[in-house]
Every structure is written in C-alpha cells, then in structure tokens.
Structure 1
C-alpha cells in the first residue's frame, strides 16, 4: 500500500483529497495535518468524511510527515515551497497550491507577493503542449504542481484549437463563473450566504486575477505562439463548480466546418474529458463530484469566432481529482484508479 499524508487537511481541497483517497484501493491514508486546526477531530471539520471522523488533525511538521510515500500539500499559496524543500527527494510531493505552477519568474512576481520558488512538472495530463500530452512529463515524477481550477477548465477548452492552428492567439476572451468553495474555507464577509444567494458578481477584473498568467502559459505552450487572454471570473451562488465560456478568433484560412473535429480528435481517448454531442451544453450540475470535464463548442461564423464552454467541479477535477490523477501517473498506477467518473444528481 502507498502511504499518503495530507497537509492542509482542514480546508476544502484537503478534505476533497481525503474523500477521493478513501476510495483508492492502493492508498493508505496516513497523517492528516493543518495549522490552526491541529488537535481537532477531523469529523468536526469535515463531517462527511465519516471513516476518518475520529482522526486527530496534527501539526504540519517534518516529523509528522516523515515515513510517507506521498505528501499532498493543500496549503495557502506561498506556503508550500519552504516545506517542500525539506521533504526527501524520494517522497512524491503533489502541491495543490500555486507555488510551482509558473515557469516564468516575472509572471510569478507580477501576481504573487512571495519569492519565486521555481516550477515543477505541471499536473494537467490531458493538456496538449509541443505536439504531445502533458501526461508524458508526469510519469514517474516526484514533484508535481497541480493546476489552478480556472486554468484547468480554460486550458482544456482552448488548447486543441491552438495546437491545431485553427484559433488566433490574439483577442482571446474568457468569462468564467465559479462556486464559492474556490475562495477557500476562511471566513470572508463577501462569501456569506446572505451576500451570495441570489446574486452574481465579478472579481479580479481587468487582468488582475492570479490565474491569468497560468492560462496564458498553457495556451502559449499548446500553440507555440504568444497568447494573451482577457479573463474575467465571476462568483456564482453555488458551492462547487466552474462554467467557463471561452472565445477566440478563427485563424485565417481555417475551415469552420472542420473545427469540431479538432476537439473530437484531441480528446477521443481521454477518460475524463468529454466533448458532448452537438446541441448538448455543459452543466456544472452534471460534473458535480466527478473528475469529468464537459466541453461543447460552436463556430460563430458571423463574427469569425469559436466559442468553447467547459464545466468542471472545481474541487474535484479542478484540484483534488487532478492531484490523485497525478499520483497515479507518478507511481505507475492506472490513471483512472480511485477517481469518480459519474457525477451526483440532482
């Protein structure tokens, strides 16, 4: 059995990792750790995790994390690097924060207020880059950076078009709605039920959201040309889910009738990425609790643009599901082991 520890287990991401690991036949859950929640019962923090309810949350220390084969880091952005640097090289470390996602130091310092820590293998197996899928770079890795939730949805929505040369890198626009769990578990007045219910609101407007450089990094890698994205996230009155509406100009000379085939070919063999039948559009409800990505696209010939809509569960495929998927690749297990392929409805 693979012995795994989860640091940051008190938060939404940590709790979701534990939920998935409970169904993983090759993993034994070891230490569960946190900061201010240390000493509490896990069942008081995550009542839905009944098999682990009586576990006590421990302090996040090297001593507690020692002796594990895998350590998942579900810590706030900027907190993973120092801890990761002290973990042994033979331990597989999977970081769900942003610390190691960006390859460009300037991009990091423009959006984050902690020192640049470098980059790790990027944990989005289905991403097209340089003519192949990213899973090639993840097999056997001991250090993996899990993507952000918005970049997961947007990158998988648009990367095939850039890789095939049917999308123009200029004028890419994305508007995406996320559930409140994307903001984490800390108490924030603007996330109170009375503020969120019955309302939608934008944030990070004007290119200021920290996922912007990550999205641009992925799409640039897919197509080989510099991509700039106008990204506007919005907060939706739901707990989980992302619905991303992504548009890009049709490349000069691209045949509108052949566009759909590009996405069908790119994801034909992917177990978690699904291009829906024509006229069926993605829904966040349909992917709830699953590691699935639902995609649909249309060509707006009147304005010469391609519209791709993606739906994911931000806590599953957008965070914890990707982490477990990367665990499987890193340790040579079947990629789908322990990952839910059906959503929860209604």
Structure 2
C-alpha cells in the first residue's frame, strides 16, 4: 500500500528534513507541500538539496489543502498546529512536529508556552522507557503522534535508563547542551546570523526558562521519577546541525559501577537507533550527522558521586524528523527502520 502525504511548513528546516527522509520511503507518495509566506514558490527554491522533489510547488497551508491525505505532517512553529486538528479528521495519521500536542499538563503549557492548550497525542520517542515497557508499544496503531522536542528527547533518552533502574537521583539532574542553530528554525533572527554565531558560544533560555524542561520532566516521570528536577542550559555553537548533551545526576544509594552501566546496556542493547558506546568512549556530533542515531557515552564520577551521560544526535534527524518517521512506521505497522539510517555523513 502507498500512503499519500501532505507536509506543512515544507519550506523550513524541520519540514525539509521530513521531506528528505520521506523521499526515500518506498511506501510514501509525497503529494502536497505547503507553506505560508512562500506559497506559490517551487519547493526547490527553498529546499535546493531535495532534487527528487523539484516538481512540487508550495501551496497555502489551509485545512482544505491538507485534508484528503492519508498522512499529514505538521512542521509548524508552536501554537500553530492546533488550529488544523479538527479539520483533519479524515486523515488516518497526523504527526505534529511542533509542541502543541506534546504536554499532558495544561499548567505546564500555560507556564512555558501560553495560548490555547490542545489535547496530548502519543509521544513519538519509541525507545523511551515507560512504567509498562517502551513508548514504542503506545505508538502501535496510533493515529495522532506528537514528535518530540529535539533537546527534550536527547536528555530524556540520556537519563531514563538510570531513572527506571533506580541508580540515579532524578531530583538533581543537570544538563548543558551544545546545540546548532537549525533547531531554532529558518526565520531571520539577528542572533542566529552567521556573523553573530561564528567564533562564539552563546547560552540562551538560562535559569529554568527553556520550553523543553516540562517535556523532559514528563518523560522522566513516565520512566518512574516521582519529582524530577532539572537545571537545563542550552548553548548555541557554530555548527549547523547537532546536539551534544552532557547530563549528570547523583548516584542513588549504593549502586555499583556495574549496576549503573547495566542500566543503560539493558535499556539500549537491542535498540537500533540508540546506541551505548563502549566504556571510555564518548560521542561526537559529527558521527550522527544525517543519521537517525543517538550515540551515548557513559561515565561514572565517583569523586562527585554522579553519573555523567554524553549524548549526540542530529537535531533535525533523530531529534525531530527521524523520530517522526520512525514513529510513523511503527503506527502503520511498517518496518521501524524503513527510510532511516544509522550511518552518518563524513567528513
């Protein structure tokens, strides 16, 4: 069976990455691409790397244009996806790559986003540990999927095994992330210009204000944490794509080094797209460029009594579009790795 797909926000970074992955999917027909201010332009004018899609023209993002497809992917800024939900009732599957359907708590939405709160959809991080197994189980047959925030899923995947195994204290999680500016979208912003980014590192959303914090806490609760608290500091660095998240938490009780490492080994030993590196090795963002892979390095700092987890992902691939396509495959009963790769691009 071939599924027809419409992708909104197709002129942006997230929409472009969704299209790049779906273009190589044998079960997908990319029928419609939409945008706002660039409607009427050839897609190739905004995504010149997508040569196989050069005949597509961007249409207006309206409920009427998006309706009538088997699958609709909404790659829009937060607060814009919810307006289309009711009009897409005939779509077998809708995937929101924005934030509108990620949070289960209306109070968290109001505190970190504001505006209309929309019902939570099935969260699109298949490997995430939950109280009953993996998030993958909840994605089987899902019709509405919320793709994750890239920073949020990176930190959640980093810490969830330790939480579930009871070897870390989730009340004192500290995470500092080096992130590429593509995660902020394609809109022109002065602080994201090349001249402002080159040769510097710039922290932002410091002091508990970043919008991905409640999403991380939500995921860690699913893994078994009762009151997760996190100090979260992202830092813009001059690389187009990528996240390198260094996250630590206190060792719980008298957990041994072998018990700590076993928590991550048992969590991800059978996973294709989340891989724990051998002891003593740490990941680089260069090794996951273009891949649907999260690479994890684990260290145990006995002097500080903390577990340190370093995780590298491509924020546009595994962090957003890859997670969306992987979740789509599961929901449709297709092979989970279809159109996805663990291999990055080098140099």
TM-score computed with the length of structure 2 as normaliser: 0.98
1:120 equivalent in structure 2: 121
Cα distance in 2, alignment partners of residues 164 and 33 from structure 1: 44
Moved more, 257-266 or 8-17: 257-266
* Residue 245 of structure 2: aligned partner: 244
Residue by residue, what CA displacement relative to the aligned partner does 1:24-45 show, whole Å, maximum 9, x if unpaired? 1110101000111100011110
Q: In structure 2, how many angstroms separate the alpha carbons of the residues matched to 1:192 and 1:216?
A: 32
| Equivalent residue, structure 1, for 2:59 | 58
Which residue number corresponds to residue 150 of structure 1? 151
Looking at structure 2, the residues matched to 233 and 257 of structure 1 have their Cα atoms a distance apart, in angstroms, of 31
**TM-aligned CA deviation for residue 132 of structure 1:** 0.5
Report SS of the residue matched to 2:234: strand
Output the CA distance in 2 between the equivalents of 1:131 and 1:71. 29
- Aligned residue number for residue 317 of structure 1: 318
Matched, 1:174 2:175: yes
Q: What does residue 137 of structure 2 align with?
A: 136
| Residue number in structure 1 paired with 2:210 | 209
Counterpart-to-counterpart distance in 2, 1:73 and 1:12: 12
Q: Give distance in 2, aligned partners of 1:54 and 1:90.
A: 24
Partner of 2:341: 340
Shift of 1:223: 1.9
Q: Distance in 2 between matches of 1:208 and 1:4?
A: 35
Check if 1:266 corresponds to 2:267: yes
Q: Distance in 2 between matches of 1:108 and 1:271?
A: 32
TM-score if structure 1 supplies the norm length?
0.98
Contact persistence 1:89–1:142 (CA under 8 A) = no
Point out where structure 2 has 5 or more consecutive residues left out of the alignment. none
Gaps of 5+ in 1: none
For residues 95 and 112 of structure 1, what CA distance do their matches in structure 2 show?
16
Cα RMSD (Å): 0.9
CA separation in 2, counterparts of 1:332 and 1:224?
31
Q: In 1, distance between residues paired with 2:335 and 2:234?
A: 34
CA offsets, 1:86-118, max 9 Å, x none?
111552000000001001110000011211112
Q: Is the CA contact 1:260–1:297 (under 8 Å) kept in the aligned structure 2?
A: yes
Residue 177 of structure 2 corresponds to residue 164 of structure 1: no
In the TM superposition, what is the alpha-carbon distance from 1:225 to its structure 2 partner?
Answer: 1.3
| Alignment partner, residue 93 of structure 2 | 92
Aligned residues: 346
Corresponding position of 2:195? 194
Secondary structure of the 1:291 match is coil
CA distance in 2, matches of 1:87, 1:131: 31
Q: Is the 8 A contact 1:256 1:301 kept in 2?
A: no
Helix, strand or coil for the counterpart of 1:4?
strand
- Identify the residue that residue 103 of structure 1 maps to in structure 2: 104
Task: Give 1:68 deviation, angstroms.
Answer: 0.9
SS in 1 for 2:244: strand
Aligned to 2:81: 80
Offset at 1:280? 1.6
> In structure 2, do the counterparts of structure 1 residues 161 and 89 end up closer, same or farther at CA, with 3 Å as the change threshold?
farther
Instruction: State which drifts further: 168-177 or 243-252.
Output: 168-177
1:162 alignment partner, SS class:
helix
